[in-house]
Structure 1
Amino acid sequence: MTRAKLSQIISRELLEAIEAGKYPPGSKLPTENELAAQFGVSRIPIREALSVLRAAGVITSRQGGGSFVEERVGSGILHNIHIENEDAELIKHLFEMRKVLEPEAAFLAAQRRTPEHLERMWKALRWLEEELADENKITLEADLEFHRSMFLATQNPVMIQAMENLSSLYERALHITLQPNLGLKEKRKAVYKEHHDILLAIEMEEPELARIQCAIHLRNVEKKLSLFM
């Protein structure tokens, strides 16, 4: 069994324990050493499993150490976010494409954006911020508009057309991947910050930084996906 698979199994089992009430909202999880002993593994897959749960907004780290269950984690998280096999394959394949296209789009946008492009991206980000402030909104349209405006800033007609061709798939995938953030204030703040960091790098004309910030955002999305697929 690969380490990645092991950490995924551990993250799912921890999530099920949280859903069952073993670790209620606001409670502290066992330490990494205690969890390692409990699962009979090293601390490495435990650390990766906790990272997945943090990315999904299920737990949070607090000053002074330790991982705590989010106060507003509802019951049935894993079961409510049910992904059909067909959708799982779609999301997997789309995400592979996103990892290829989006960091490069951020890189080119930082090199080529005009004041008009920046204005559209900031408008999309403000829209996303407003949507995220309502914890019961999925923020699909605002999120999609941010990514679309970033692609427009590349001034690469082939990349822009590729984004448009994939837009319907983006919508389906985003609807699933954003749903777990409902009601999770801290996670929604983190999503905003990731987009904000990408835009700041583009505005500062820092291509490599923009690429890195976009890759960080996608890595966090990937961690969250691994919990539900």
Structure 2
Amino acid sequence: MAKVKDVNLSQKLSSELQSQIWYGDICPGEKLPSQRVLAERYSLSRATVREAVQDLELKGIIETYHGGGSLCRNLLESHFSMPSESIGDNFEFQVQVMEMRAALEGEAAYYAALRASDEQLDRIGQEYEAMQARSSGNTTLAKAKADLRFHTMIAEASHHLLVISFSQIFYNRYFNAIYGVLDRTLKKFGRYPDGISAQHTQIYQALINRNAELARKVATEHIDYTRRQLEAS
């Protein structure tokens, strides 16, 4: 009877962890809490926790590394086979990337305004302040990375698994195209576009005010503005 009870407990824990993954409480690429922490948190034996973790691994939801813990997998990655090389500097493709970013980041900001925890908003605020302080004097590459880090944090605060998963893949695979957009613009105008900093402020304020519709609007307009700068170059 005790063995049946342990199996039921491990299944319940597996289901609980799956729910946290589906709702973006544990993001793709993020480590699960250690088995010791899970055992203490849920008042379970280490053996029961180990069975739950093994169940998640067998289902392909996580990957476990010896001595390195368990990582939540990005379940979209194996289905994403679009090319990533040799097209990053293509103007027409850069425009498409910006069009996709406008839709993606609008939705990410919308759900982040609704669902982000206070702790996540605090971290986004810290990144926003750091990004504002770094806005002058940095290389184009550093600015592109800082911009994406800010938007990635917003996506991860959306608690929307598809938005998080696709954002991670999209930003990683097409970073060269995103960097190329900023590089083209800087070469044309000789400076960082004037409106970008103010737009980051609008996005951040909409998030902390939990105004989802405004967050979607200003995040979308932010990318559309950058796309127009690209097309003007």
Bin for the TM-score computed over the shorter chain: 0.5 to 0.7
What TM-score comes out, normalization by structure 1 length? Answer: 0.56
Letter of the 1:101 counterpart: L
- Give the drift of 1:90: 2.7
The runs of 4+ residues in structure 1 deviating greater than 4 Å are 135-138, 182-185
Aligned residues of 2:94 and 2:181 also touching (Cα < 8 A): no
Q: 1:122 aligns with which of 113, 121, 125?
A: 125
Evaluate the alpha carbon distance shift between residue 129 and residue 91 of structure 1 in structure 2; reply closer, same or farther with a 3 A threshold.
same
2:153 corresponds to: 149
2:231 corresponds to: 226
2:56 corresponds to: none
Evaluate the alpha carbon distance shift between residue 85 and residue 162 of structure 1 in structure 2; reply closer, same or farther with a 3 A threshold.
closer
Counterparts of 1:95 and 1:107 in 2: how far apart (Å)?
Answer: 18
1:105 corresponds to: 108
Aligned residues of 1:135 and 1:184 also touching (Cα < 8 A): no
Larger-gyration structure (1/2): 2
SS at match of 2:90: helix
Letter of the 2:129 counterpart: R
Q: 2:172 aligns with which of 168, 189, 208?
A: 168
What TM-score comes out, normalization by structure 2 length? Answer: 0.55
- Give the drift of 1:124: 2.0
> Percent of aligned positions with the same letter in both sequences?
24
Counterparts of 2:186 and 2:119 in 1: how far apart (Å)?
Answer: 31
Letter of the 1:149 counterpart: M
SS at match of 2:210: coil
Evaluate the alpha carbon distance shift between residue 92 and residue 120 of structure 1 in structure 2; reply closer, same or farther with a 3 A threshold.
same
**Does residue 136 of structure 2 align to residue 133 of structure 1?**
yes
Aligned residues of 1:140 and 1:174 also touching (Cα < 8 A): yes
Matched residues, number: 145
SS at match of 2:135: helix
The answer for unaligned runs of 5 or more in structure 1 is: 1-83
The answer for unaligned runs of 5 or more in structure 2 is: 1-86
Deviation by residue 1:157-191 (Cα, 9 ceiling, x = unmatched): 11101011112244212312222347856x55521
CA RMSD of aligned residues (A): 2.5
* Deviating more after overlay: 188-197 vs 133-142: 133-142
2:96 corresponds to: 93
